[in-house]
Amino acid sequence: MSKARVLVVEDEKKIADITLAYLSRAGYETVLAETGEQALSLFKGGFDLVILDLMLPDMDGEEICRHIRSLSEIPIIMVTAKSDEDDRVAGLGLGADDYVVKPFSPRELMARVEAHLRRTMKSSPVRSFNSGALLINGQSMEAVLEGKPVSLTPTEFRMLQAMAERPQTVFSRHQLVTIAQGYDFEGYERTIDAHVKNLRQKIEKNPRQPEFIKTVYGIGYKFIGTKDGD
């Protein structure tokens, strides 16, 4: 875990300096963003975890959380002075993995960072199905079919990854909307059908006879690929 890369989004210099010092001492590579605009620009470089202050000078941290979650499933730890239960629930609903209230103990924050990185990095990020026919890399958000990279949108990848993590489990359209677009998405659930159709065109040899994503009529979809090693 010493090579993990952490993005710290924090505009309060004292808190930022302490957080960066503790992270660096633990062996992590750290990058600081003092505004939301900097955070969105820097995130394109790729990180293993984000520590996100919710109260920034140019935009709400919630907006940054939505953007990061639309691109990646890496752990997000929200740091804020907002301590109400409703605020915590809202933050977690946006896709954050943890919520730390200011003032906080740097040692406690480090323990949370290490716990989240341990969970995400201890196991191989690559899942293999159907004797290696389909590979899904959750860390790089990439899929490979028969040895060739598959160009998936973030929405398509999130849906594929979520279903592949629970083979044979039926996902309703509402569940897939939540996975694809977030808890606050108000679009029509049938848009999921269009996403699944596009996904099948990319990963199925014959979309009419799927090997990976099966329609469960009247309910939704399930992943039917066989995980290698089971």
Torsion of CA 69, 105, 16, 24, to 10 degrees: -90
Tokens of 12: 């309060």
Instruction: Determine the Cα–Cα distance for residues 104 and 122; give it in Å rounded to an integer.
Output: 27
CATH classification of 126-223 is 3.30.499.10, yes or no?
A: no
The pTM (predicted TM-score) of the whole model is 0.56
* Structural domain spans, the chain: 5-121, 126-223
Torsion of CA 136, 141, 147, 151, to 10 degrees: 120
Which residues have C-beta within 8 Å of that of residue 37, sequence separation ≥ 6? 58, 59
Token look-up 């949108």 returns 153
Which residues have C-beta within 8 Å of that of residue 40, sequence separation ≥ 6? 64, 67
Over its length of 230 residues, how does the chain's per-residue pLDDT go in tens digits? Answer: 446 889 999 999 999 999 999 999 988 889 999 999 999 888 866 688 999 998 899 988 888 988 888 777 788 998 887 666 666 676 677 778 888 888 889 999 999 998 888 777 655 578 899 999 999 987 778 899 999 999 888 778 888 988 988 889 998 887 787 676 554 444 556 678 888 999 999 999 998 899 999 999 989 999 999 998 75
Q: Which helix (H) or strand (E) holds 90?
A: helix 85-93
∠ at Cα 229 (228, 230), nearest 5°?
Answer: 95
Fold exhibited by the domain 5-121: Rossmann fold (3.40.50)
Instruction: Determine the Cα–Cα distance for residues 174 and 152; give it in Å rounded to an integer.
Output: 21
Instruction: Determine the Cα–Cα distance for residues 106 and 22; give it in Å rounded to an integer.
Output: 7
